[in-house]
Chain A
Amino acid sequence: MNDVVESQESTRRWAVILSAISGLSVLATFWLIFFYVPTEREMGIVQRIYYVHVPSAWVAFLAFGIVALCSLVYLWIRDDRLDAIALSSAELGLVFTTIVLITGPLWGKIAWGVWWVWDARLSLTLLLWFIYVGYFMLRGATENPERGKRFAAILGIVGAVDIPLIHVSVLWFRSQHPQPVVLRAEGPTADPEIVKTLLFSFLTFTIVFFALLLLRYGLERLQRRVDAATFRAATRSSSINSQGAVR
Chain B
Amino acid sequence: MRGFVRQLLTIAGKDLRLELRSRERLVSMMTFAVLVAVVFSFSLDPGVEARTVAGAMLWVTILFAGMLGLGRSFALEREQDAMMGILLAPLDRGALFLGKLIANLALLLATEVAVFVVFALFFQLSYWKTLGSVILVVVLASVGFMILGTLFSAMAAGTRLGETLLPVLILPLLMPVVIYAASSTQRLIVGRPFAEVAGSVRVLVVFDLIFLIVSILLFGAVVEE
| B2 at interface, CB cutoff 8 A | no
Determine whether the beta carbon of A75 is less than 8 Å from that of B175: no
Contact across chains for B173 and A162 when beta carbons are under 8 A apart: yes
Q: Which residue in A158, A169, A176 is a CB contact (below 8 Å) of B218?
A: A158
> Would you call A168 and B168 a contact (CB within 8 A)?
no
A–B pairs, 16, beta carbons within 8 Å: A75-B221, A142-B159, A143-B159, A143-B160, A147-B158, A151-B222, A154-B151, A154-B155, A154-B221, A155-B155, A157-B214, A161-B210, A161-B211, A169-B175, A172-B203, A176-B183
Binding site for A on B (CB under 8 A): 148, 151, 155, 158-161, 165, 168-169, 171-173, 175-176, 179-180, 183, 199, 203, 206-207, 210-211, 214-215, 218, 221-222, 224-225
Whether A130 lies near B171 (C-beta < 8 A) is yes
Let me know if A158 and B225 touch, CB within 8 A: no
Query: Which of the residues B165, B171, B211, B224 comes within 8 Å of A158, measured between beta carbons?
Result: B211
| Cα distance, A127 to B169, chains bound together (Å) | 11
Are the CB atoms of B218 and A154 closer together than 8 Å? Answer: yes
A240 to chain B, nearest CB (A): 26
B223 to chain A: closest CB distance in Å?
Answer: 10
* Cβ A170 vs Cβ B175 within 8 A: yes
> CA A173 – CA B155 in complex, angstroms?
30
Given A158-B148, A161-B211, A166-B176 contact (CB < 8 Å): yes
Q: Which of B203, B210, B222 contacts A150 (CB 8 A)?
A: B222
With a 10 A CB-CB cut-off, give which of B155, B171, B199, B203 has the most chain A CB atoms.
Answer: B155
A134 at interface by CB-CB < 8 Å: yes
A168 & B172 in contact (Cβ 8 Å cutoff): no
The chain A residue sitting closest to B214, CB to CB, is A161
Which residues of B have CB within 8 Å of A176? 183
A147's nearest neighbour on chain B, judged by CB, is B158
Task: Give residues in A with beta carbon < 8 Å to B.
Answer: 75, 127-128, 130-131, 133-134, 137-138, 141-143, 147, 150-151, 153-155, 157-159, 161-162, 165-166, 168-170, 172-173, 176
A150 to B159, CA, bound (A): 12
Do A170 and B179 contact each other (CB < 8 Å), given the known contacts A151-B222, A158-B151? Answer: yes
Q: Report whether A134 and B225 are in contact in the complex, using a CB–CB cutoff of 8 Å.
A: no
Cβ–Cβ contact B158 & A133, under 8 A: no
Residues of A within 8 A of B199 (CB): 172
Closest chain B residue to A124, Cβ basis = B175
Please give, as numbers and ranges, the residues of chain A lying within 8 Å of B176 by CB-CB distance: 162, 165-166, 168-169
Asked, given contacts A137-B165, A137-B168, A150-B222, whether A158 binds B214 with beta carbons under 8 Å apart, the answer is yes
Residue of B nearest to A143 (CB): B160
B175 touches A166 (CB 8 A): yes
Q: Using known A-B contacts A134-B172, A158-B173, determine if residue A151 contacts B180 with beta carbons closer than 8 Å.
A: no
**Most B CB within 10 A of own CB, among A130, A162, A176:** A162
**A15, B161: Cα distance in complex, Å:** 36
Which A residues touch B210, using CB under 8 A?
A: 161, 165
- Residues of B within 8 Å of A131, CB to CB, are 172-173
Partner of B161, one of A141, A159, A169: A141
Return B101 CB to nearest CB of chain A, in Å.
Answer: 15
B165 proximity list for chain A (CB < 8 A): 134, 137-138, 141
Shortest CB distance B196–A (Å): 11
Give the Cβ gap from B157 to chain A, nearest Cβ, in Å.
Answer: 11
| Bound-complex Cα distance A238 to B179 (A) | 58
By a CB distance below 8 angstroms, the chain A residues around B206 are 165
The 9 closest A-B pairs by CB, nearest first: A169-B176, A141-B159, A130-B172, A141-B161, A169-B179, A127-B172, A134-B169, A165-B176, A141-B160
A30 to chain B, nearest CB (A): 34
Chain A residue, CB-CB nearest to B206: A165
A170–B199 Cα distance when bound, in Å, is: 14
Chain A residues whose C-beta falls within 8 Å of the C-beta of B222 in the assembled complex = 150-151, 154
Given contacts A141-B161, A153-B221, contact A169 B173 (CB under 8 A): no
Specify which chain B residues have a CB less than 8 angstroms from the CB of A169 in the assembled complex.
Answer: 175-176, 179-180, 203
Contacts of A137 in B (CB 8 A): 161, 165, 168-169
Apart from A130-B171, A133-B168, what are 5 other A-B pairs with CB-CB below 8 Å? A141-B160, A141-B165, A142-B160, A158-B148, A170-B179
Q: Please give the distance in Å from B92's CB to the nearest CB on chain A.
A: 18
